[in-house]
Structures are given as structure tokens and as C-alpha cells.
Structure 1
Amino acid sequence: MALRTLSAKNAAALDQELMTAGAFSIDQLMELAGLSVSQAVFKLQPLNKGRRILVACGPGNNGGDGLVAARHLFHYGYQPTIYYPKQSKNELYQRLKKQLEDLKVPFTDDFPSALSQTDHIVDAIFGFSFSGEVREPFPKVIEALRDTKIPVLAVDAPSSWNIEEGPPGSGPGKGFMPEALISLTAPKPLVKWFKGRHFLGGRFLSPAMAQKYELDIPKYEGLDQVVEEPVEGKL
């Protein structure tokens, strides 16, 4: 049976409640999200299949999750490269960037060149709060993600997808279907259209919070922060 989904409105409300009644800080939630993303990469792209990981980060929380994931991937033994063209001035994001710089993780402005020299891609550009048009420099990046033969893991949503209505009917994201998706905290309605491998990361949600938002808590194995779920997408 498919997991119950969380609308964009309820996802924002749940995040806010986690940071108030739940007593989590945004740093903690981003760290847990990024850790989950890194573990999904490890399952999809074992070190012996290729260590080069290109992490494409947007300006918001989704990009922050990507920065955290890159740090964990470095410590696992991967060689991450960061594409982060719209860098936030927020202190949290600046600290995450500094942590990567201290590890000598390279940042690049040349996405096509980085794409040609990687084994796996993390799409951490836009998450559940995305709406409206894709703005520069991301249209060509999303087109490249759509057209590449290199496997892509999308974080919470394939970038450019509508959270409620799935893939766009036109624009740079038309036809974009990543190899894998990791839903953070809970799947969003767009998962109905998704046809790749689907992971869930959110091993911090209390039973009471899950019940309030009518969510399912899957069985995580051992130390895993992610669990793979059957694909719902048949549309």
C-alpha cells in the first residue's frame, strides 16, 4: 500500500510545528535531511560504481540539504563537486559552505563541464516550496538533468515539478524523470507521477506528530535513515 502524502501547505505547517512544539532547530532538520540524502546516494551509487558526485544546489532549504549531503558523502569516501550559483547570504548556508571549503570540496560555476565528469547527480535545486517559473540560471541546468544519461537523485521533488500536480506540461522540466527520488519527512502528492526508485527519509517524526498529520512511519532497518518504498507512479 502506498504511503499517505503530505501537501505543500501541510509540509510547511509540519516543518513549522517541528521547530516549535517539536523543539527541533532548522539546523537539526537540515542535518537529518542531508544525512538521509547521503544514505540514499550510498544505496544507489556504491563507491565501487564511481565516487564522483555532482550536487546541484538551489538557494533555499533544498540546496541546504544538498550541502549537508555533500559533506557526509565526502566523509564516506566520495568526491563531491558543488554547483551552487545562487548562494544564500543566510548564516546557516554560509556555515555549510565553509564546512565544505574546509574539506577542499570544489565549487563550480560550469555545470556542463561538471556534468561531463561525474558518476551521479543530486538534484537539490527546488523542493516542496517551489512554484512559478524556473528562473536563470536553472532552466538550462534542469534541461541538462532531463537529457543526461547519468543517474539523478532528486531531493523531495524533481526540480520544476509541481508538488500537487506533478511534472510540468511545458518548459525546461517537461519530460524530466530522475532515476530516483528521496521524499523528506513524507511523500508529496507528486509521487503519483514518479516512476523511478523512491526512498523516504524522515526517521525523526514522533508517532504523535505522524498521527496528527495522518502520515505513515515506515519500518527503518538498523541504522538506516532511509527506506525504499514501492513506486506508486503509474500515470
Structure 2
Amino acid sequence: MNSLSYITITTKIAWRVIFFSFLIFLNSSPTLEAQTTGTGSPGLRIDVSGSNDEGDFGVAIQLVVAMTILTLGPSIIMMMTCFTRMVIVLGFVRNAVGVNAAPSSQIIVGLALFLTFFVMGPVWNKIYDDAVTPYMATTMKSADALMVATAHMKDFMLNQTRQEDAQFFLEISRQGAMTRDELPLSIVVPSFVLSELRTAFQMGFLIFIPFIIVDFIVASSLMSMGMMMMPPPVISMPFKLLLFVLVDGWYLVVQSLVNSFNIS
């Protein structure tokens, strides 16, 4: 499976998550009211007259924002969370072992997605407590809630971003010197993705080393015995699987991935 397969499967899973999130949004929005008559069935009334609070967004703008989030949802999940590092490293593990069909792409993407939920849990809990809950209680404006949620996501991304990457995008944007809190998402997101790709490839290199050594030993042994027509991967694959099982490879990989984010 190539990277296109990963993106396709990830998009399907992300759309399902976003669909249920949108249903929750429709159910919890204060401008959407369910009406029940004495003899009729429950109905749904959408009030698009706007909010009476001048400092808050109107419902029309909220719906536009919600539809925009639905459209960009898969990209947000892939690019603004730890999903990129997870799925790349897990893909490297499968390629290093040499078994291209096991585990399948669905399993790799699913494991990467749930590991993303686990790692991002503390960040999302902060967003829920500091932004979503006050907004649902009507004690915080929409703009303020969005700023708080964005600040938490920026803080997570900047903690995983190399200073050199952020400085690079800041220089080419020609926006002048900025502090950490002043950096816009247009600089933070690409810097974060670039750093994630670099870290994922570094981890992938370390994963490949022991399996390359096994391939080298098997190939040298076959040549010394004059069995040059025997494909080395056929012989080395059982040994690589045995090595991976003996060292509890999946535990070590997942542990390294989770600990690499230093989330508290």
C-alpha cells in the first residue's frame, strides 16, 4: 500500500468522526430548538435570525464555520495532531519487517488514529474545559472560545516544532520578529508538519537498522554457502519476525511514539 491508500482510509475514518461531531453540534446548539406538539411528532426549528448579543457570532456564521470545519476536518486531523508521525512510523515498521500485507493499512491507520486520540486527549480535555464548556454555558463568546482553543492547539504544536523550522517559515513570510504567542497558524502549522516529518523519518531510520543487519547476515551466509540463487528476503523474513516478537517490538514502537510527545 502506498501513501495514497493511507490518505484514502484516513479520510473515510475522519469523515465518520466529523459526521458524528456535527450531529452533536446540531443537537447542542442553542439556536436549534426541538418542538413537540400535543398530537404531532417532534420537529426541528432552525432560527437564523442571529444572536441578540452583539459580541457573539450569528448563527449563520456559525453554520458556515461548521461546514468549513467539516470540509477541512481530515486535513486538520492529519496536519494539526500527532497523526502524521504515528502513521508514518507504523508504516516504516511494516516495511522494515518486510511483510507488506500484514498488518493491513486499515489496522495501521486505525491504530495511528486511536493513538492520536490517546496522545491528544490532555490537549482536547483542556480545550473542552476552557473553551467548549464555557461556550455551551453561554458564559463565553464564540470568538473568545475559538481563541482559547486555538491557543491550546498552538501550544501543543509549538512544543513539538523545531525552532529552526518555525524561524524558516517566519523568515520567508517576511512578517518580522514575533514571540511564541504571536505566531499565526499559517506559520505554526507548516512548521509543525515539517518537524513531524523529520522526527518520523528519524525514528524510521532507527527502526530499519536491526532489520538491515539481519538481511546482511542472511545474504552473506547464503553467498558463503554458494546459494546465490536463493532470494535473501525469503530466508530473512522469519528471522526478522522472530527478532521483532522476541524484543516485543510493537510495545517498544508504541511506547517510543507516545513518550516522544511528552504530553502531561
Q: Is this a same-fold pair by TM over 0.5?
A: no
Higher strand share: 1
Higher helix share: 2
Rg (Cα) greater in structure: 2
